[in-house]
Each structure stands twice: as structure tokens, then as C-alpha cells.
Structure 1
Amino acid sequence: MEGRLSEEIEVKVPASEAWKVYGSLQLSKIVVEGLPSIFSKVEVVDGDGSTRTILHLFFAPGTAGPSSFKEKLAVVDDENRVKVSEVVEGGYLDLGFTLYRICMEVIEEEGQKGECIVRGSIEYELREEAAANAALVSIEPVVAVMQDVVWDCFFTDFE
């Protein structure tokens, strides 16, 4: 079984400025500081924020499910402003998923100087015997991260 969820928000800053945050390790720091009810800590296991960097993310105490997971940055494409991470240990993989991928894209809006779109998406695959766990997948945490960056870094209303 496989699936994909996606959501977009409008950000009233140039794509190059938004990418400085979404495309860097600064994103991890913002996530922990801005969303303490979801994540308690993010550690860089290996790497500098470029492709193949491994992060260990810890959920806040009291959250349902696994306590942590490790993800690898599979793609960090500065030219196209795309970051793709894949869970490589724990988290959804412990629940029967064979793939759990999060993608963040910063897209320059045509004809709108100083504005961009940030698209977050989740792609997943899971074993047939764990198909009921597809109900656990939600785009809401990704949207919360996207919105938190906007509030913390750009102080911008989003629509």
C-alpha cells in the first residue's frame, strides 16, 4: 500500500530567503523551539545539513507512538530549493512502513516578487499486513512546521 499527502502555504518573502531556513539545519532548531509539544530534541548524528546528513528526532514526552526516529536527508537541492528526508530507523518504520519520506519545496511565485509557496508532502509505503496504520499518516505536523517557520522567521501572515 502506498500514499501521498501534500499541503502548500504562501509566504510573503522571496524564495531565496525562505530557502535559507527550509534548506538548512536551522529548520531543526526552529522545530524544537517552536513545536515543543511535538519534538523535544533534534540531534545531528552525522553530516552538515547537506545530502546524506542523518538526524535523530525525539518526540515530546507523552506523545503517542515511538519516542524517536532517525532520518536521512536524501536530497538537499539548493538550485531547485527541494529538501527530501527519509526515515531510516524507528518511528514509522517500526509500525510496518517500508518508506516514509518528507519533502519540502520552496517555489518562486510567478509574477509575485517577494513571495513564494512552500509545499510540504509526505510519501509512504507500507506492508499490506500493516495497512490499517496508514490512518496514522497526517500532513498536519508538516504544516505545523511550515507555519512555525513563517511565524518564527518571517513574522508573516499566511493564507
Structure 2
Amino acid sequence: MFGTLSEETEVMVPASKAWALYGTLELAKLVTGKVVEAVEVVEGDGGDGSGSSCLVKLTLEYDVKEEFAANASLVTNRNLLGIMSVANEHLLKSN
């Protein structure tokens, strides 16, 4: 059973500044040990946006073996929310 969970939040910093955190291993350094055990960057090349704020969307993809499909309800977006919270706080403090 394949599924996804996504969260989106507005960050009150320019997209280029948000990407400097989210698009690099700096995000992993920031949240490792606080919210998650490890972060793996799968894809993304970034690109500068414009304006004084931007939207950040994180997606969690999961695949549960059919024999464990009843456990799919245990998948949570808690870590995504934690990552966004820690990252947004960091971005606002360093603005």
C-alpha cells in the first residue's frame, strides 16, 4: 500500500533564503537529533524565487507491505511538522 502525506506552510523569508536551508544539507544538520534521526535529500536543484515570503511543501512517501496494510494508519506527519517548525524558527531568527 503506497501513500503520501504532505504539509505546506508559508515562510516569511525570500525563497532564496528558504532554499539555502531546505535545499542543502543545512536542513539535515538543523533537525537531526531534534525531530528526526536522519534526512536524505532525494532530488531538487533549487532556484531563486522572488518576494518577501514563500511556500514550503514537504512530502512524505511511504510504502507499506500488503500484509501490514492495517498499520498504515500509524503513518504520521508529525516529523514533517517538526521539521517545518524548527526550520521556520531558524529562518525567522536569522532574517
TM-score range, shorter chain: 0.7 to 0.9
Q: Which structure's residues are more often helix, by fraction?
A: 2
Unaligned runs of 5+ in 1: 42-56, 58-70, 82-107
Q: TM-score, normalised by structure 1?
A: 0.51
C-alpha contact (below 8 Å) 2:4/2:59 kept by paired residues = yes
Q: Distance in 1 between matches of 2:90 and 2:40?
A: 25
Q: Is 1:76 matched with 2:31?
A: no
Q: Distance in 1 between matches of 2:59 and 2:32?
A: 20
Of structures 1 and 2, the one scoring higher in RCO (CA 8 A, sep 6+) is: 2
Tell me what 2:53 maps to.
Answer: 115
Tell me what 2:64 maps to.
Answer: 126
Q: Which structure's residues are more often strand, by fraction?
A: 1
Q: Which of these residues, 130, 144, 149, is aligned with residue 87 of structure 2? A: 149
Query: Residues 35-76 of structure 1: CA distance to partner in whole angstroms, max 9, x if unpaired?
Result: 2xx44x6xxxxxxxxxxxxxxx3xxxxxxxxxxxxx653213
Unaligned runs of 5+ in 2: none
How many percent of aligned residue pairs carry the same amino acid? 36
Please report how far the alpha carbon of residue 19 of structure 1 lies from its aligned counterpart in structure 2 after TM superposition.
0.2
Secondary structure in structure 2 of the residue aligned to 1:74: coil
Matches within 5 A, 1:7-156: 7-32=7-32, 35=34, 38-39=35-36, 57=38, 72-79=40-47, 113-155=51-93
Superposition CA RMSD, Å: 2.4
Q: TM-score, normalised by structure 2?
A: 0.81
Tell me what 1:85 maps to.
Answer: none
Structure possessing the higher radius of gyration over alpha carbons: 1
